Amino acid sequence: MSVVRTAFSNTGNLPRRKLVGRIFFGLFLTATLLAIGVLFVLGWDIISDGGSWLNRNFIQSFPSRRPEIAGIRPALIGTIWIMLLTAAFAFPIGVGAAIYLEEYSGKGWISRIIELNISNLAGVPSIVYGLLGLGVFVEVMRLGPSILAGALTMTLLILPIVIIASREAIRAVPDSLRQAALALGGTRWEATKSHVLPAAMPGILTGTILALSRAIGETAPLIVVGAVTYANFSPSGLDSVFTVLPLQIFDWSSRPQDDFQRIAAAAIIVLLALLMTMNLAAILLRNRFRKNQNW
Amino acid sequence: MARDATSSLPPQDVSGAAPSWAAGRSLRGASENRLGERVIRGLLMFCGLLSVATTFAIVAVLIGETARFFAEVSPIDFFTGTEWAPTFTPAKFGVLPLLVGTLQIALIAICISIPIGLASAIYLSMYAPERVRSILKPALEVLAGIPTVVYGYFALTFITPNIVQRIFEDARVFNALSAGIAVGIMTIPMVSSLSEDAIQAVPRSLRDGALALGATKFEVSTKVMVPAALSGIMASIILAFSRAIGETMIVALAAGATPKFTFNPLESIQTMTGFIVQISLGDTPRGTLEYKTLFAVGFTLFLLTLMMNTLSLWLTSKFREEYE
């Protein structure tokens, strides 16, 4: 501890050291508040730009070359399609992988490889998933730039998040529940299906909703897969070309006219409202889970 | 200073103990070998292996198209050329302007996210009362949940005209500085959250010992806690850097689309991700050189972020050993 002694033992300059401490406390607090402040500036900027453009017509209309009659209908419907399809793919696969890792695999080499792999996948830039989707789903599987190719790409993107969240929820289920089921003669799958999964389900759903909210905010992979920036029709099926809200926002923001930037802001308000609703649902689910938890 | 023991761990931390009976084969009766049970086991294993298949597919797709790209363009020209004009005739395939643009954005970003993120981490872990912390920490994390296209809009319509062009009159409408600042804001929660976890993981006795010796809270923070948590803090910074390298929509909107070999942050530039977006917005049939160029740039990006992430994981695991 000699370093500490030479650093702190000189008490002659205590008032100065206390002053330095107070100054830096001020700096630390200012930096923290600055970061939070950005959040308010961002919110204010978007609402003041786009708030007055937001109305029923804006939600129900198709995009147009004239900003005053343009709307987000195809983009909003595209986002909902992508969200539902991605959930339909990512939920069973993610939960299945989590069950395998937590309940079946033990600590063998397979689970070690899968684990390492998942933590690596979580760090791959989202646009690289777009290239994967373009190479595999669009070209090799010949799905074209369709909603299905987009949703499959998004599935791979959020799968690591769903698996990690589901594993945490499954691990939180006490062992006694499993052992009770096994002691009564249940098989491993029966114990998992009837006891572990129901107990872990609120946690799994919370994690899945949060992962989906990540997916509907993503733009880059879908651009690479071939989603269009201008669609004057709503998607009609799995093989339909499509656009999504963030892509519509990107397109309008990148135009030089002020009015297009305003409707981009209005579309941002819709996107953020959707995200906030999903996050709120996740928080409510988690809180209900905590209240009912009796172990 | 009562501490919340359930402070969030980095998301990579999934290696918990398996349930006691998962390892114990002796418990498995004949019923475990029924056909249905085996089918289900196989299905679940398939789900797990799908993530491994994803990695292989990423690497295979990237390497396959990149190899085809290098059959037409010399790797030496690609990695040393200072001109990037793949859609012009004659086409120039020097990736350095894109690389410099990408690193410039990432450097500007961490110049924002390191000081602010680290200061918040120190404030939250050393100074903030529990109630304040329970409000500020989630509020900070909201910054990470905002879609990046929204930051792009903010950079283009707010940061550029109201901040950057006010200070530097000769800044372009599209410039690296505004995009870098926005990417920096986006990565603040990554630095603050992971650094705070690292500081929390320093044994309490170190902090108490320094305080008992008469150090002020500031001295304890900067001379004891931060040095002890340094590898974790470094890991968080590298992760933020890697995230900034891969960031796409902010730079596509605010940094411009002119690949230029420049170190001037007020100029319009292009990053690797920005290039991929620009080309993808057009029509690129498979087999064309443009299509292959996408993958060559994507592969460069993938290798760069993989290196960063591996370094960060290695630092984190080294740091864990110290206190276990």
In total, the C-beta contacts within 8 angstroms joining chain A to chain B are 313
The pLDDT value given to residue B31? 59
pLDDT in tens, A238-253: 888 888 999 999 999 9
CB-CB neighbors (< 8 A) of A254 in chain B = 253
The pLDDT value given to residue A285? 83
Q: State how far residue A236 is from chain B, nearest Cα, in angstroms.
A: 22
Q: What is the mean pLDDT of residues B83-90?
A: 81
The pLDDT value given to residue A293? 62
d(CA A270, CA A199): 34
Domain boundaries, chain B: 32-85, 95-322
User: What number of other Cβ atoms are within 10 A of residue A253's Cβ?
Assistant: 26
Q: State how far residue A49 is from chain B, nearest Cα, in angstroms.
A: 10
**DSSP conformation class of B85:** E
User: What number of other Cβ atoms are within 10 A of residue A108's Cβ?
Assistant: 10
Q: How many residues does chain B have?
A: 324
CB-CB neighbors (< 8 A) of B57 in chain A = 132, 136
The pLDDT value given to residue A111? 80
Q: At what angle do helices B289-322 and A109-121 cross, to 10 degrees?
A: 120
Under an 8 A CB cutoff, do B122 and A28 touch? yes
pLDDT in tens, A265-290: 999 999 999 999 998 888 888 787 76
Under an 8 A CB cutoff, do A4 and B122 touch? no
Among B21, B32, B149, select the one facing A250 at the smallest CB separation.
B149
The secondary structure of chain A as a DSSP string is -HHHHHHH--GGGHHHHHHHHHHHHHHHHHHHHHHHHHHHHHHHHHHHHHGGG-SHHHHHSPP-SSGGG---HHHHHHHHHHHHHHHHHHHHHHHHHHHIIIII-TTSHHHHHHHHHHHHHTTS-HHHHHHHHIIIIIIIS---S-HHHHHHHHHHHHHHHHHHHHHHHHHTS-HHHHHHHHHTT--HHHHIIIIIHHHHHHHHHHHHHHHHHHHHH--HHHHHHT--S--SS---STT-----HHHHHHHHHTSSSHHHHHHHHHHHHHHHHHHHHHHHHHHHHHHHHHHH---
pLDDT in tens, A25-43: 999 999 999 999 999 999 9
Under an 8 A CB cutoff, do B12 and A122 touch? yes
d(CA B85, CA A131): 21
Q: State how far residue B80 is from chain A, nearest Cα, in angstroms.
A: 23
Report residue B152: phi and psi, to 5°: -60, -45
CB-CB neighbors (< 8 A) of B225 in chain A = none
The pLDDT value given to residue A110? 80
- Residue A17 makes CB contacts below 8 A (sequence gap 6+) with B216, B218, B219
pLDDT in tens, B109-149: 999 999 999 999 999 998 989 899 888 888 888 888 899 99
pTM of this structure: 0.86
pLDDT in tens, A111-123: 888 888 888 888 8
Q: Considering only the top CATH level, what class is B95-322?
A: mainly alpha
Q: What is the mean pLDDT of residues A71-80?
A: 89
Q: Closest-CA residue in chain B for A177? A: B19
ipTM of the complex: 0.88
Q: Which residue's entry shows tokens 């996107």? A: A271
Among A32, A104, A178, select the one facing B136 at the smallest CB separation.
A32
CB-CB neighbors (< 8 A) of B115 in chain A = 31
Under an 8 A CB cutoff, do A25 and B249 touch? no
pLDDT in tens, A15-27: 888 898 899 999 9
The pLDDT value given to residue B38? 86
The partner residues of B84 in beta bridges, in order of sequence, read B93
Report the sign of the C-alpha dihedral through residues A171, A177, A179, A185, in that order: negative
Counting runs of H as helices and runs of E as strands, what totals does chain B give? 15, 2
Task: Give yes or no for residue B77 having a pLDDT over 90.
Answer: no
Among A32, A128, A265, select the one facing B302 at the smallest CB separation.
A128
Q: State how far residue A129 is from chain B, nearest Cα, in angstroms.
A: 7
d(CA A84, CA A150): 12
